[in-house]
């Protein structure tokens, strides 16, 4: 018999199976009943985590840097006689410095000016942090990180009139005459009320006592306008009334 005229049992079975396939809609019906969960690959699942981590690093890390650098150490040697060093901190550091340092105002007859500095506050490691406040009108140069700049008299835009009334100040003798003289050169016109002209005792508009290294013939209670010339000499001009109301 010709082999082409023969068929096997397996072939009969396969042909039968081909003729009786499962209905087409059965497949779709089963898939529609299957619970649907959005399938995402592993890298897609990890993507939000990576993005959050990057954001945290980008936001938190730079914010931590100024806080750490705010406490830039300043050794006692840095407070030399030739110059005062002032930290120009970032805005964050400035804000924190407003409450941190103790303010001292030195009124020295020798220098004849009001000199304000901030007493340094020792940190835990024994280093010194020095800051300035914007309330005194000191020039705060914007900087990404605190830097040390010499606080020359020209830059210390501080005078007694600008001292806030509510500030807690204490008088501490200033031994650094050179620094005070330099500071005095910057002093501008002061409006003062004479307390004792012979001893150079005055009061400013805030009622704070000031001592200048001058002798005047003004009577007590008289308002004067004081101005220091370049040579360090004080020039006074009597006023008819108190200018403080202005």
Partner 1 sequence: MTLISQIQRWWQDRSDESFYHQLSDEQLLVQYQTQCTQAALSILIQRHSDALYHFLLTLSDAHLAEDICQATWLKLVERPDRFQTNQAQFRTWLFTTGRHALIDELRRLNRWQWASLDELTEQDNEDWNEHLTFATHPDIQAKFDDALVQMPFAQREALMLQLDGFSLADIAVITQEKQETIKSRLRFARHYLKKTLEVTYES
Does residue 39 bind partner 1 (CB under 8 A)?
yes
Does residue 48 bind partner 1 (CB under 8 A)?
no
- CA–CA dist 245, 125 (Å, integer): 48
Query: Min. distance of Cβ 54 from partner 1 in angstroms?
Result: 23
Closer to partner 1 by CB, 35 or 122: give it: 35
Query: Would you call 17 exposed, middle or buried from its count of C-beta atoms within 10 A (0-12, 13-18, 19+)?
Result: exposed
Query: Min. distance of Cβ 46 from partner 1 in angstroms?
Result: 15
- CA–CA dist 245, 38 (Å, integer): 75
Q: What angle do CA 198, 209, 173 make, to 5 degrees?
A: 95
Closer to partner 1 by CB, 5 or 217: give it: 5
Does residue 207 bind partner 1 (CB under 8 A)?
no
Closer to partner 1 by CB, 30 or 92: give it: 30
Q: Which two tokens stand for residue 58?
A: 């980008």
* Displacement of CA 187 from its chain's centroid (Å): 26
Does residue 42 bind partner 1 (CB under 8 A)?
no
Q: Per CB under 8 A, which region of 2-10, 93-101, 110-118, 121-129 contacts partner 1? A: 2-10
Count residues binding partner 1 (CB under 8 A).
Answer: 30
Q: Per CB under 8 A, which region of 8-16, 66-74, 216-224, 225-233 contacts partner 1? A: 8-16
Q: Which two tokens stand for residue 202?
A: 């005055």
Q: Cα dist. 18→15, 22, 26, 27, 90 in Å?
A: 5, 10, 16, 17, 81
Closer to partner 1 by CB, 21 or 230: give it: 21
H/E run at residue 143: none
Site map for partner 1, 59-78, x if CB under 8 A? --------------------
Does residue 5 bind partner 1 (CB under 8 A)?
yes
Does residue 12 bind partner 1 (CB under 8 A)?
yes
H/E run at residue 50: helix 42-70
Q: Which of 132, 25, 27 is nearest to 84 (CA)?
A: 132
Q: Which of 119, 131, 118, 116 is nearest to 72 (CA)?
A: 131
Site map for partner 1, 113-152, x if CB under 8 A? ----------------------------------------
Query: Footprint of partner 1 on this chain (CB under 8 A)?
Result: 1, 4-10, 12-13, 15-17, 19-23, 26-27, 29-31, 33-37, 39, 41
């Amino acid at each position: 018999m010709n082999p082409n005229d023969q068929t096997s049992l397996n072939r009969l079975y396969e042909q039968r199976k081909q003729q009786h396939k499962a209905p087409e809609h059965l497949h779709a019906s089963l898939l529609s009943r299957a619970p649907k969960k959005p399938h995402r690959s592993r890298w897609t699942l990890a993507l939000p985590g990576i993005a959050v981590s990057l954001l945290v690093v980008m936001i938190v890390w730079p914010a931590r840097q100024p806080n750490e650098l705010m406490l830039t150490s300043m050794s006692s040697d840095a407070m030399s006689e030739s110059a005062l060093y002032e930290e120009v901190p970032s805005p964050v550091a400035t804000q924190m410095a407003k409450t941190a340092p103790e303010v001292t105002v030195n009124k020295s007859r020798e220098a004849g000016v009001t000199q304000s500095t901030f007493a340094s506050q020792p940190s835990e490691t024994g280093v010194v942090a020095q800051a300035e406040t914007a309330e005194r009108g000191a020039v705060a140069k914007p900087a990404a990180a605190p830097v040390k700049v010499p606080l020359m008299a020209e830059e210390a835009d501080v005078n007694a009139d600008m001292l806030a009334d509510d500030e807690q100040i204490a008088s501490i003798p200033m031994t650094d005459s050179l620094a005070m003289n330099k500071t005095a050169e910057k002093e501008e016109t002061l409006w003062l009320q004479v307390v004792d002209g012979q001893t150079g005792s005055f009061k400013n508009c805030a009622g704070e006592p000031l001592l200048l290294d001058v002798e005047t013939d003004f009577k007590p209670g008289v308002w004067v306008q004081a101005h220091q010339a370049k040579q360090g000499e004080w020039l006074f001009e009597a006023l008819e009334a108190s200018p403080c109301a202005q």
